[in-house]
Structure 1
């Protein structure tokens, strides 16, 4: 007997990792995406074009207990974000209504990009989200759409996701990536397995009767200066040269807290970049 039926809308990298963890825990999982042949084995595929208002022909007919909206924009401009996070979510909510489906809870996967704090300031779920760029503004609009959908909902603001296939920083370090040290440029990250794991944890917590807050930040236990991360990776990779290019100064410097999720009982499998990147380099994650 399954614990319940979960529909993962946008079942890509994080969604597929979530699906695998849910199936291991005896959940029934539907995965909605354009190319269902790329779904993990055991996921019930729902081929769909989220940008088309017409309901997918293979939309599940049974009651859906939980929905996880984990879509990634295919076009990284304002119209692309609007289509992926507002228009497509509107379609999804409409399809649920058409089938008289009333999920117990909706998880909307958002981004810590809605925060614009600087200078290493600590950020939690109560901090002001005052995004000025279109990406953050549209994400905030989509969050409100989810929270006001009539379905009990939580937004999960994930930080910088890394993992197999998300190894940009490793490639840069191998090239001698240089980062300014003063003032420190703080970064926040979460391994892709932990991103999926946090979502699975929240679903199970709700199933067990725990009350979920309307927002959680998905981040590991140790926000760290990017220079420290680069130094550690250089040591692991045996890189000794530095790039001739000027030091890189990326925008943004804040420290995100996972205290709310941990207070509910969640612990990341990879508590810091060290464990996560070590597993990647060992071919274990």
Structure 2
């Protein structure tokens, strides 16, 4: 049989029952061959990474500290290193590992005036315990000239098993709130990630490891009905980690009503995209250097 399309994600609330939203939305218009092996008619064969995601109700995305980068930041000449992320299940088992593939020159531009325009790439690998590492997803942010509300940043998600685009993200222009558009393979808006504004979530502008600043919650909503189908919670690290590596965060992604593993993969990639866009800047380098100077 030819390539089979996955079942659409359950996004629309059912007419009866309490919030049976599960992600079942519009069909992805681009066919997805989830594996090269022959499958029985009507049966979709998924890659090992997709099969693993299908069984996970939630994941933790943890950025790994780059101590050379933090040490050079304290000295006043930060060298931007490649970002790396561990993806764990609810009991702490690592199943995925994300690595930034951007070259050194482009990485140094990410914290400068060209941060919004700079391109970058991230590869997500499937790392089963005791198994061989396999390519899973590729996240690609093309270089673009961003100016206020014109030509806003976007990124594409590629399934490495098929080489096909399965979704994309867009960061629209907003005044004082964080809002993202999550699209399917045909660039149709399916989900909206809403982080509110800095007035209701002080952790957006002031990420301290205590009180209301220690967490920022993002509601993942259906683009049409505005029903909440998933949640992403950004967590600030411990006090010691925050002092030396304040830009290293962790994210807890609860899929809730999202059942389709392809959309779970898109949400995993989106979490990394969001970290690159807004939470990948060392905000207290100067404060740390001032404290060390007084010691």
Does TM, scored on the shorter chain, surpass 0.5? Answer: no
Short-chain TM bin = under 0.3
User: Greater strand percent: which structure?
Assistant: 2
TM-score norm. by structure 1 comes to: 0.26
TM-score norm. by structure 2 comes to: 0.25
